[in-house]
Chain A
Amino acid sequence: MSTATEAVIDVHAHAEDHHDDHEQSFISKYIFTTDHKTIAKQFLITGILWAVIGAAMSVVFRLQLGFPDANLEWLQPLLGKWITAEGKLDPNFYLALVTMHGTIMVFFVLTAGLSGTFSNFLIPLQIGARDMASGFMNMLSYWFFFISSVIMFISLFIETGPASGGWVVYPPLSALPQAMPGSGLGMTLWLVAMVFFIASSLMGGINYITTVINLRTKGMTFSRLPLTIWAFFLTAVIGLLSFPVLFAAALLLVFDRSFGTSFYLSEIYIGGEALPNVGGSPILYQHLFWFLGHPEVYIVLLPALGITSEVIATNSRKPIFGYKAMIISMMGITFLSFVVWAHHMFVSGLNPFLGSIFMFLTLIIAIPSAVKVFNYLTTLWRGNIVFTPAMLFSIALVSVFISGGITGIFLGNSAIDIQLHDTYFVVAHFHLVMGAAAAFGLLAGVYHWFPKMFGRMMDAKLGYIHFWLTFVGIYAVFFPMHYTGIAGFPRRYYSFTNFDAFSGFTDLNMFISVAAIATFIGQFVFLFNFFYSMYRGRKATANPWKSNTLEWTTPLHPGHGNWVGEIPTVYRWPYDYSKPGADDDFIPQHIPYSQTLESNLPHETELVKLEKEMEEEEIVVNESSKH
């Protein structure tokens, strides 16, 4: 015990020295910074820029799908030769748009933009640490992501177009430049960008895990961690275990593309010649890809669920219901996320027996997800709900998580999946359960922690307008896709008019496109609010949401080092909201039980004694260390 306390004190002392060096140049303060808060903002702003690009791409292909006869000549100044002389979108570029929309949204926005922002920002602030375990590696993590972004961005402008084989880039399509133009230089750049991205994710993840394990302040046991931190921690674990597998998949693909190996290629006759490759298996790639690809779903979802837990508890003014059950279900999801990947491959030529195993494992994952939903509902029950924009987005997250999660039970059932696989039903499913849910989590996080990030408040009314536009818009876009999916409409189709079976629903497709465009425009309300409030927003108070977690005990504009003086000690869990007997409806984590005698529960009264003993011990240690 005494060694542990000494170590803590040592860290404090060291960090306090560090805290004084405020004189920093612009470059070391804002660009090559090691301050986790600034790095978080870098991730956030980059993520927002990517989100605008990715969403704009979806608008272009929705124009094609909703208005197949429209003349798109007006897009020529932007898209150049990808708009044909007749004013039509080039089918190759359509596929490129679909591919890049997926890649950008999944990796750059919902992985880097979400985990990168909030893990970085909240982990040190909520566990009571001066910074990440390795500030330098954290900086590298951002700059690798930046390099990755630049390469991916460049790939949008090359003559043969960016990667176009779908965001999963299945070989042989992605391996053979003769199969489609996007599989040439565009695919090479995609792979290079992803390698940098994976490196960035790994460096981030290692940091998050180390920081959570080692740098928790005194009293911040694992059973007192806010659920946000639990979520970020488990997310990082998933990423650390699964991203290397994507790296392997990408590396083998590079070999197949450039060095004549046959990991994924076999018996191919293309462009008038038989290729020499034999013995490879495209299914191998699918296994490797989905070994990351499925956990990736939870990499984007868990942080959103963590943020939601925190926001819902705070704004319901109630403890999160079933704190331990929430942690156990997140752990369950973490574990199960690694053993369900082949449900993406039921009709890929996979051994049908394996298919039944994966159906069983997949449907198990619905249980912890259901537990989380019920716990959220019970948290709202008999609360005193304050509708901040963050709270609205969190409630909406629960709604889309239910709606999208439920369709997962269809798709996870291999017999039902035969018909639904690769149709719009799948598109509807994952856009709700992972796309919209994670995006809502991201937005909730931005609204909730904006005051901590910039010391100012975002405008609530604009937030409400943004929320309702987005929430209604998301359902208007994705709910109708279930119908076209049940009707069998395949994904990634440039046009449906070739088939009698798919030529209906032109009105519904038009409706979806209009809704998508409206939702996209609605996001500019948010962008305006975000950038305007950064400079002109109302000044925030220290704890605007009356929240319990540690970040609100820092100064309004925390410097590098977060706390002036000593880091507060933690005495209780983060969810003491509306405790019977207490004057206020919240008791922050750093308030000892000895100060809240009127509201302590029976077992907590005993903790008061323990607190006293600890304090005495600390005094002894302090005195002995002075000698």
Chain B
Amino acid sequence: MFGLYIALAVLLILGILLLIFRISRLVNVVKGTGNETSETSNNINGILMIVFMVVFFGLAGWYSLVYYDDYVPPIASEHGVLTDKLFWRTMWITGIVFVATNVLLFWFSYKYRYKKNNKALFYPHNNNLELIWTGIPAIVLTWLVITGFLAWDGIMSEAPEESEQIEIMGYQFAWSLRYGGMDNQVGEYDYRLIDAVNDHGVDFSDRSSFDDFKSNNLVIPKGKPVLLKIRAKDVLHSVFIPHMRLKMDAVPGLPTQFWFVANKTTEEIRIEEGNPDFNYELACTEICGRGHFSMKKNVIVLEQDEYDEWKADQASWLSKNPEYMSQVPDNLKELAMVTSGINK
């Protein structure tokens, strides 16, 4: 019944609007107006341009200033400081251009609106002007490119030797983590070895896989390089940790990586943000199906000593699943028993 009323109301409003339209048309026809360029409607549109400009810049400026802390997430990685600096530098430069060109656009529209006795200026070209506004953007952009290139080159450089190696694998619809263990080497894998238990497809003929362990949360140390070795099990995914300014696709068949240094522990950022429940999060940013929006992993940043302690406490995957000892080649079995911690 309620739906019917709404439909009736909508119809009624439409009817009234049509009527108004029809009457105004007839009035125009009788008056004989509407054919000629009308100065009134031209003035109204010109003034609306200025009104729009003021309201638009007013609202955008107000929101940008007042809600700054809401829309800029705190930075928690070393390279993030750099990329954010580039971001805001670009913002200042382009922001000035943005405001200046838009103001000119709306101002010219208003100022030079049609007036009966005016005549436009015949001004077809000016090569010096063209050179100026080709040259200046070219110089500014060159500068932006060079600074961007230097930052990018550093971020994408080879990971330092001592990096903590962590394998992160995306699958529909979650992430799974495998740490390099005591030798800090994530062991080899083969997707054909994947089964219900060994979901990473760890290859146990590789000796560096014996001490690998899994973790539910991405636990990393502060101040030490962490190398994420990124892979995907089924379709594309993308690792995204917004506070670390980190993103890299996970591609089946093509391992990718991203190394970074976290510079604030979870404790520190909780104090800084004044939010005792704050957690770093890892999300997926490459469409991967129904549960794309739910691929969350918590990220915990610890002080180095806390991290070492935590790491020492982790039992290797092999020790938790000793039946996989059968996949270890005979000549390595003894080594595997020791390094996996089954024989302690």
Residues in A lying within 8 Å of B, measured CB to CB? 74, 91-92, 95, 165-166, 170, 172-173, 176, 179-180, 265-270, 272, 274, 278-283, 316-325, 347-349, 352, 355-356, 359-360, 363-364, 366-367, 370-371, 373-378, 380-387, 392, 395, 398-399, 402-403, 406-407, 409-410, 413-416, 418-419, 421-423, 459-462, 464, 468, 471-472, 475, 479-480, 483-484, 486-488, 490-496, 498-502, 504-505, 538, 575, 577-580, 585
Contacts and interface: CB of A to CB of B under 8 A. Distances in A.
B288 interface: yes
Given A267-B191, A416-B148, A500-B278, A377 B108 contact: yes
Given A319-B122, A395-B105, A494-B293, A538 B236 contact: no
A545 to B, nearest CB: 10
Nearest to A493: B293
A498 B293 contact: yes
Contacts of B90: 409-410, 413, 416
B274 interface: no
A471 B235 CA distance: 39
B245 A418 contact: yes
A527 B119 CA distance: 35
A267 B114 contact: no
Contacts of B176: none
B197 interface: no
A380 B121 CA distance: 10
B285 A421 contact: yes
B236 A173 contact: yes
B128 to A, nearest CB: 11
Given A323-B125, A416-B86, A348 B253 contact: no
Contacts of A92: 289-290
B236 A269 contact: no
Contact of B122 (A392, A496, A579): A579
- 9 nearest CB pairs, A to B: A266-B253, A488-B242, A352-B156, A415-B151, A387-B45, A578-B120, A270-B234, A267-B253, A413-B148
Nearest to B132: A374
A583 to B, nearest CB: 11
A359 B149 CA distance: 8
22 contacts: A91-B290, A166-B287, A266-B254, A270-B235, A283-B251, A320-B124, A349-B256, A360-B145, A377-B101, A380-B105, A385-B112, A403-B98, A403-B102, A406-B97, A415-B151, A419-B83, A419-B245, A464-B41, A480-B63, A487-B73, A578-B121, A578-B122
Contact of A387 (B46, B83, B137, B285): B46
Nearest to B44: A464
A484 B242 CA distance: 12
A453 to B, nearest CB: 19
B122 A355 contact: no
Contacts of B70: 483, 487, 504-505
Contacts of B326: none
Nearest to B121: A382
A118 B172 CA distance: 45
Interface string B169-190: 0001000000000000000000
B251 A282 contact: yes
Given A166-B287, A386-B37, A364 B112 contact: no
Contacts of A317: 119-120
A173 B281 contact: no
B72 A486 contact: yes
B227 interface: no
Contacts of B201: 269
A416 B148 CA distance: 8
Interface in B58-108: 60, 63-64, 67, 70-73, 80, 82-84, 86-87, 90-91, 94, 97-98, 101-102, 104-106, 108
Contact of A413 (B120, B144, B242, B294): B144
Interface in B251-268: 251-254, 256
A468 B48 contact: yes
A384 B123 CA distance: 13
A569 to B, nearest CB: 22
Nearest to A168: B287
Contacts of B240: 422, 488, 490
B233 A269 contact: yes
A348 B242 CA distance: 17
Contacts of B114: 384-387
A501 B243 contact: yes
B285 A349 contact: no
Contacts of B105: 376-377, 380, 395, 398-399, 402
A499 B102 contact: no
B12 interface: no
Interface of B: 3, 21, 24-25, 34-35, 37, 41-42, 44-46, 48-49, 52, 56, 60, 63-64, 67, 70-73, 80, 82-84, 86-87, 90-91, 94, 97-98, 101-102, 104-106, 108-109, 112-115, 118-126, 129-130, 133-134, 137-138, 141, 144-145, 148-149, 151-153, 155-156, 172, 191-192, 194, 196, 201, 233-236, 238, 240, 242-243, 245-249, 251-254, 256, 277-279, 281, 283-294, 296
Given A363-B144, A410-B87, A323 B248 contact: no
Nearest to B64: A483
A380 B245 contact: no
B60 to A, nearest CB: 6
Contact of A491 (B48, B72, B192, B285): B285
A498 B296 CA distance: 7
A266 B192 CA distance: 11
Given A318-B121, A384-B118, A402-B102, 15 more contacts: A172-B252, A179-B288, A267-B191, A269-B201, A281-B254, A316-B120, A325-B125, A352-B156, A395-B109, A409-B90, A413-B90, A419-B247, A422-B285, A492-B287, A500-B278
Nearest to B196: A272
Contacts of B194: 269, 274
A508 to B, nearest CB: 9
A58 B256 CA distance: 34
A510 to B, nearest CB: 15
A465 to B, nearest CB: 10
B99 to A, nearest CB: 10
B300 to A, nearest CB: 14
Contacts of A356: 149, 152-153
B63 to A, nearest CB: 7
B288 A173 contact: yes
B138 A367 contact: yes
Contacts of A367: 134, 137-138, 141
